[in-house]
Each structure stands twice: as C-alpha cells, then as structure tokens.
Amino acid sequence: MTDLILLHGGQHGSWCWAPLLAAFEKQPSQFARVLTLDMPGCGTKRGRDVTSLSLNDVVAELNQDLRDLGVRQGVLLGHSIAGALLPLMAVGAPQLYRHLVYLTCALPGEGQSILEQLGSTLHGESPDHVGWPLDPSKATPQEMAVAMFGQDLSAETLGWLLSEVAQDATPPSVATESITRTGYEGLVPATYIVTLRDNILPAAWQRRFAERAGASTVLEIDTPHEPFVSHPQLLADVIRGLELPL
C-alpha cells in the first residue's frame, strides 16, 4: 500500500482537508496513510515570514517534509495553485512519487506565473487569461472570497472556511514566480479531476491545464472548486476509485 499526500491551494492549509479526512475514516481505502502537507506560512506553519522564499525554496521544503515522514512512491494530490508546485516537486524528487492527482489545478504556461495566467479580467473576457468571478479592481476581498469559496456551503461552513483562510499566508512566489516544467514530461503518471461548477477555474480552462499536466486520465465531478469541503464523500469515493499504476 502507498501513501496519499494532500497539498492545499492558496490561502489554505492542511486544516481544509478535515471534511475529506472524516469521509475517508468511514470506509477503508487503498492507502497506507493519508498525509497532509502545509506550505510555509500556512496551517501548522502559520506565523512565518514567507516573503523572501523562492518557488524552489517551497518545493525543497515540501519534499523534505515527505522524506521526514518516510514517504516513498506516494500519490500526491494537489489543489488549485498547487498545480504550480506538483511538477516541480516531482522533478526535484521523483523517487517520492508514483502518481500525481491534480484537483482543479491551475498550471500556467511555460515561463508564465499563476497571476499572469489569471489576468485581471472577468471570466470569459480574455481568451488568454482565466479571469475572475468578480471584477478584481472593484470587489472587496470579502466579496471575492465569498464568490470563490461560497458555493454549496452553509453559512456556518463558509464562516469557518473564511476565518481559517484569513490566517494563512501563502508564499508570494507560488503565485508570482514564472514556472518552468523542464524535465517533467512523462516523468510521473498523472490524473486530473475537473470540477464542473467551478467559480474560480472554469472547466474549459481546467481541461487545458490537464493537458499541461500530462494527465492520461481526466475525471469530471459536478462540484464547485473545493469539493473536499462542499462534497467530501463524493471526492473520497472518486479518490478511492483511482486506478493507480503498480
């Protein structure tokens, strides 16, 4: 049996996987352990000054975290902007991974950053940029957060989510540093999970990102951007059903 490793997206931490972990506890899976990582400044690593960290610094720390946990040939599932990190983590330490799972991940073009890929327009206004659900020049941070994360959530759950989000500080380099995936192609098998009602990354863009990820399998689920919170049992079932290479 292999380990499943969960890596959160921007302004989140390992706390965000709690509903999914609870769903896993209800029924055994094919994994020896389900482990959660934290980017510097997030979750269990809150309070650190992350402004000077490079993308390579973040990647090296996450891979070292897995070495310290005794991981070898694990299944790494990343969410959202973790798509910038997964290929680099695999290139940096291929012996740690047997399969990558991209859950509605953004993968910028070669030499592009996450923020450059997102752009500054609304969804659908630019063929070259993902865009935003609200005008980023006019929406308040609270309005944007509700638009991005509020789908299918009760007021109580959304309140919990936003209170946690406010305490995390993703290293700026993850979103602002240009990405290269040199050495990644064909290195580790990959699956991409498209969330069809995503209010952050439209499904058409996700399918484009799946190609950049080299995903041989693309699955689609009828959920918003964060199914580990809004539909944890469905996501747990999808992950249990993954066909992983021997």
| Spatial distance between the Cα atoms of 234 and 170, rounded to a whole number of angstroms | 27
Given pLDDT bands bounded at 50, 70 and 90, which one contains residue 245? low
Q: Within its chain, how far is the Cα of 40 from the centroid?
A: 15
User: Confidence band (pLDDT; 50, 70, 90) for 29?
Assistant: confident
| pLDDT, tens only, 165-205 | 999 999 999 999 999 999 999 999 999 999 999 999 999 99
DSSP type of residue 224: -
State yes or no: pLDDT of 133 exceeds 70.
Answer: yes
DSSP string, 81-118: GGGGTHHHHHHH-GGGEEEEEEES---PPTT--HHHHH
As a whole number of angstroms, the distance between CA 131 and CA 139 comes to 13
pTM (2 d.p.): 0.97
167: left (phi over 0), alpha (psi -120 to 50) or beta: alpha
What local confidence, expressed as pLDDT, does residue 27 receive?
Answer: 81
Share of the chain above pLDDT 70, in %: 99
pLDDT, tens digit, 9 for 90 and up, residues 90-128:
999 999 999 999 999 999 999 999 999 999 999 999 999
For the chain, list the domains and their CATH numbers.
2-240 (3.40.50.1820)
